[in-house]
Structures are given as C-alpha cells and as structure tokens.
Amino acid sequence: MNIKNDTWNSGDPYEYFMGRWSKLMAPVFLDWLDLPDHLAWLDLGCGTGALSEAIYNYRKPISLACVEPSHQFLEITRQRLSGKAGFAIGGASKIPGPKNSFDVVVSGLALNFFPDLPAAFSEMKRVLKPNGTVAAYVWDYAGQMQFLRVFWDAACELDPAAKNFDEGIRFPICNPVDLEVAFRDAGLSDIQGAYLTIDTVFKDFDDYWNPFLGGQGPAPGYLASLSEDRREELQQLVQKITDSRRWNDLSLGESHRDPRVCVSLKFLCKFSVPNQHNMEYTELDHLSDKSPAVTTMYEKLTKELLKFGRLKIEPKKTSIHLGNRFGFAGVYTRKDYINLEVHLNHKLTSKRVSKVEQASTHRFHHTIKLNSVKDIDKELLGWLREAYELKG
C-alpha cells in the first residue's frame, strides 16, 4: 500500500476536513505576527485562501499575491478574493515573480508539504525585500492536534504499518526544534516562535468522523485505502476512544480549549541581521548543544503545561521563562538534565527540591532536577499547576 502521495486538490472535502480549522487559525496567527498595515504580502501555498482572506480583512495589504500549485484550490481562493489579490499557479521551489517583491512571505499549514524545503526558503528569500519577514505555521501533528492524534493512535493499534503514514512521524519539521533549525539553516535571523491555540468543537461523532471520508490528506487517504471491514473496525475504535476522552482531549459538543491543537511551532523569522546588543534568544539556544534526553524532557514538560491553558514561553540568556500573565517557572538546561525552578507562595519540604530561594515575602523559588521524562510526574505537575494559578 502506497498512499504517501497526499491528495490536496479538491476544495469541498478539504474545507470540511481541515479548512474550517484553518479559517480559525489564520487570524490568531496574524494577531501574533503583529505586523503593520499597508505591506506587500505573498501567501505561498495559499490552499483555499483562509490565510489570504484573513490578511486582506485584518492587515489592509498594499498588495496581496496568492500562489498555489492546485488549480482547484486556487480557484476557490480567487472566488473568495476576486478583485482583491493577485493569483498564480506555482510551487514553493519556483515562486513566480521578481526578486525583492514582498515585505512579508507567509505560509499557512503548508510548509511540511513542500517537496524541497531548502529550495523553498531560497525562493522566499529571493522574492523578499531586505529586512522583510518570513513566517509560517504548521499543525502540531505529533503533539496536541488531538483530533488527528486519536485517529492515528487507533489506526496504529489496529495496523502497526499505519505509523508510516502518520503525519506526526512523517513530518519531523512540525516540531519546535526542527522547525527552528530549518529557519536557521536557511540563513534567516531574529527567529521568534510561539504555540498558538484554537478551539476545535465538533457537534457530535459524525461531525468528527465524516470529514475523514473525503479522501483529502494523509489520514483520509489512509482510510480510503482500507477495506470496508477495516474502515468499520477503525471507526468503532476511534469512537470508543473519543467517548472515553470527550471531557479531556477532544471538543465534542462543548466549547473546550484544546491546548496547542493547532500548531506547531516555530515560525517567525525576520530576514535581517540581529542587533547583537539586543539579541533575542530562542529555545534552540538552550537545547541545540544538549543531549536528546533534555529536548525530550523539555517537549514533554511544555506539552503538559499547555494543558493548563495559556502558556508564555520566553527564552532568555541563561534560562527559559514560563508564564501566563505572570512568570511561574523557569527552565535551566544542562548537558544531560534540566533544573526546573518552580515559583510558589510557600516553601516545599520535598526531598526532590535541591534548593529554595526566598525571592520576596510571599514567593519561594524551588529548584528541582529532572533526569528523565519520568520525573515529570503527577506530583511535579501538581506543584506547577499551583504555581501557574497564583495571582501575581
């Protein structure tokens, strides 16, 4: 069975399966990007136009170019933005247009489908004006994009070979470290990133399951390749899992915020040389020269913290600050372990705490050494939740 040539060319099934979530994510991304109005924009791999439409509605572009390899998808974008943008059939490795044409080049939920990512970045830089911005976002396939994770976890339980088609495995670019490395390798600088969230609310199980029947994308393509009996078996297992998780991980008939259901990632890069006296640090600065175990622990930790709600990640020179409205923890990476600093309004007496510093009258900073993901347990997460919920 070879279904890795993903089908993304039919508009209606795509809108039902993924487009409705793309439409919610686009303005969240633009709000985070926080660029001024009246710039020249390129939406590369524009698909059916969710991001392009949001750019036009929220950023008042002086010009907007929409480039997409699928004729059918581009036609839908053209219908959405008739008379408001320019449209061209093209791929990321050969962008139509002269150099130094755009202030901003963006790509929404497409970067992992570009067949030659280095060539795509080279082309983005070619058409970008000096000191312009390259930005992209991708789904967090391996982490908190729960409605796909449930599908693939069930598929792999019934058919171990299904892991070969799981986007979380197939697209390593869709994680913070690898995505930032790709931007750095492309020669981009001033890299910034964030985790973004949206609500994915399904009316019922049919509203969740039926979009998988449209054949658009890796998961629906895998489902279409199965026999009728195997599809029925998979459907029953997925329904069993969603029934057991409906109040935790999925939004079935309720308005529940699913942490990091969207993304992904590390995406904002400015094509300029950073000011060395005002350098912005990234998570990669704290992880790139550490052991793989440190990266694994850090990713596990942030995934768990994102379940609490809003999470602000601020890499600094010597540590990574974690906060919501206020800072509640700090990550200090070492070669083979992490020192986690947890801020509470009382002193812990646990033997797991190696050091306590009283930062103020009602604030104590506790240092806890993490040697493996097993140390990110119920007790530790309880302390972190308590710290997260403190006011000021």
Q: Where are the alpha helices (DSSP H) in 159-291?
A: 167-170, 176-185, 205-209, 218-225, 228-245, 283-287
Residue 197 structure tokens: 């969230």
pLDDT at 309 over 90: no
Query: Amino acid letter at 75?
Result: E
In which band, very low, low, confident or very high, does the pLDDT at 86 lie, cut at 50, 70 and 90? very high
pLDDT at site 7: 46
Give the whole-angstrom CA distance, residue 355 versus residue 367: 5
pLDDT at 290 over 70: yes
| CA angle (41 as vertex; 39, 42 as ends), nearest 5 | 165
Q: Which domains does the chain have, with CATH numbers?
A: 11-252 (3.40.50.150), 281-388 (3.90.1150)
Residue carrying structure tokens 């640090």: 281
Give the whole-angstrom CA distance, residue 49 versus residue 37: 19
Phi and psi, residue 48, nearest 5° = -90, 10
Residue 78 structure tokens: 């053209």
pLDDT at site 241: 83
pLDDT at site 246: 52
Higher pLDDT, 4 or 247: 4
pLDDT at 96 over 80: yes
In which band, very low, low, confident or very high, does the pLDDT at 119 lie, cut at 50, 70 and 90? very high
Q: What percent of the chain has pLDDT over 70?
A: 85
pLDDT at site 277: 29
Q: What is the mean pLDDT of the chain?
A: 82
pLDDT digits (tens, 9 = 90+) for 318-370: 899 998 877 899 999 999 999 999 999 999 999 999 999 988 878 899 999 99
First to last CA, the chain: 56
Beta-carbon contacts of 187 under 8 Å, excluding residues fewer than 6 positions away, are 121, 125
pLDDT at 29 over 80: yes
Query: Amino acid letter at 41?
Result: W
Give the whole-angstrom CA distance, residue 194 versus residue 259: 13
pLDDT digits (tens, 9 = 90+) for 213-256: 887 778 888 999 999 999 999 999 998 888 776 534 444 433 33
pLDDT digits (tens, 9 = 90+) for 142-186: 766 778 888 998 999 999 999 888 888 888 888 777 787 888 888
pLDDT at site 372: 96
pLDDT at 261 over 70: no
> Model pTM?
0.61
In which band, very low, low, confident or very high, does the pLDDT at 16 lie, cut at 50, 70 and 90? low
In which band, very low, low, confident or very high, does the pLDDT at 280 lie, cut at 50, 70 and 90? low
Lowest mean pLDDT among 112-126, 256-270, 321-335: 256-270
List the one residue out of 354, 350, 342, 321 whose CA is nearest residue 389: 342
Q: How far is CA 149 from CA 146, 196, 204, 218, in A?
A: 5, 17, 18, 12
Lowest mean pLDDT among 15-19, 112-116, 133-137, 286-290: 15-19
Give the whole-angstrom CA distance, residue 199 versus residue 254: 10
Higher pLDDT, 310 or 321: 321
